[in-house]
A = this chain, B = another copy of it.
Amino acid sequence: MRDSLRSLKPYRPPEAEGLALHRNTNRWGMNPAAQEMARLFAEIDLSGYPDSEATALRRALAARYGLQPENFLVANGSNEVFDLVFKTFLNPGDAVVFPSPSYGMYRHYALVNAARPVEVPLDADFDLNADAILSVDAELIVLCTPNNPTGNTLSVGSVEAVLRSGRPVVIDEAYGEFAGDDWIERVGEFPNLLVTRTFSKAYGLAGLRVGYLAARPGLIEQIERARLPYNLNALSQALATAALNEQAFMRDYVELIRRERLRWAQALSRRRFRVWPSQANFLLAAVPQGLDRDILVRQLADRRILVRSAGPHPRLQRCVRITVGTPADLEALLAALDEVLPCR
């Protein structure tokens, strides 16, 4: 077995049944573009291979962002985007650096591609420390903004400082639609900037597995060497293209999240959770003093309310990550909490 895999366990997402507040998917349901499936489906001959260049989808992305199709690469989820980027920019043993706490899969992408993951702490506010990141001799830098699981955006000035190093920088904007920043707009400005986004969050299509990467055409062309042909199936291409034409659905959902996440934060604060400010569709919250985080997560799961433990990171040991859902979801969560929490 590849040596770097020895420390890896298979990643098995929890498959518990219940109200899914643990995956940051759209709780208002799937994109209405999906209802065009029957029509789209009549136009697709699945006996043939899909368009290996995903021409229609890349054109739609270009139109959405005012860029060119050559600025985009599409793949089977952001997972495949990252796999391709790591394969392209890292020789075996090379270091890839990313802040901590952040998205746990960056370490996974590194190990499966025989690269060396290096974590650098975020500062006290979970913001980026550019000097600390740049002090690592790494061939690739990965930044997540809004950051998962902390929910904050990284300050623009610090990200710019990292970009000015000239090293390849991936900005993971999986939750970018929920925040004000948009790094895709700036790919023309920084020749070393790669931005990845997804249809799994704001577009409500996690089941499709479509992610995309925006960068200067020269960078995209390098990554194309690692991409295997026909990497995105025909149905996902068609539906993602249709979803880009449903911007109203996405914008309405983003508006709902901006309003609801404040209500959710207030409701949790009233129950003595510490809630961090969020620019995403989820909240990071520390459980009330005196309670055990893991027991609380289990008690909620027993009531079919699934929230995500923020894991063993020293700064997050009391924290959970909760997807902002519908008003009915909030009622269900609060009812369960009121059963579980000690009397106030």
CB of A245 closer than 8 Å to a CB of B? no
Q: Are B9 and A225 in contact (CB under 8 A)?
A: yes
Q: Are A225 and B5 in contact (CB under 8 A)?
A: yes
A229 interface neighbour in B11, B222, B227, Cβ under 8 Å: B11
Contacts of A8 in B (CB 8 A): 225-226
Q: Are B20 and A207 in contact (CB under 8 A)?
A: no
CB of A45 closer than 8 Å to a CB of B? yes
Contacts of A232 in B (CB 8 A): 209
Taken together, the copies of this chain in the complex come to: 2
Q: Are A209 and B222 in contact (CB under 8 A)?
A: no
A206 interface neighbour in B9, B12, B47, B231, Cβ under 8 Å: B47
Give the complex CA separation of A239 and B92 in angstroms: 38
> Which of these binds chain B: A22-30, A125-133, A186-194, A255-263?
A22-30
Identify the closest chain B residue to A86 (Cβ): B2
Q: Are B23 and A45 in contact (CB under 8 A)?
A: no
For chain A, residues 86 to 128, give those with C-beta under 8 angstroms from any C-beta of chain B.
87-93, 105, 108-109, 112-114
Q: Are A208 and B235 in contact (CB under 8 A)?
A: yes
Q: Are B112 and A2 in contact (CB under 8 A)?
A: no
Give the complex CA separation of A113 and B4 in angstroms: 13
Identify the closest chain B residue to A236 (Cβ): B233
Q: Are B2 and A200 in contact (CB under 8 A)?
A: no
Give the complex CA separation of A8 and B221 in angstroms: 11
How far does the Cβ of A174 sit from chain B's closest Cβ, in whole Å?
Answer: 13
Asked if A1 meets B89 with Cβ closer than 8 Å, knowing A10-B221, A53-B12, A233-B209, the reply is yes
Contacts of A88 in B (CB 8 A): 1-2, 5
Residues of A within 8 A of B (CB): 1-3, 5, 8-13, 15, 20, 23, 25-31, 34, 37-38, 41, 44-53, 76-77, 79-80, 83, 87-93, 105, 108-109, 112-114, 200, 204-209, 221-222, 224-236, 239
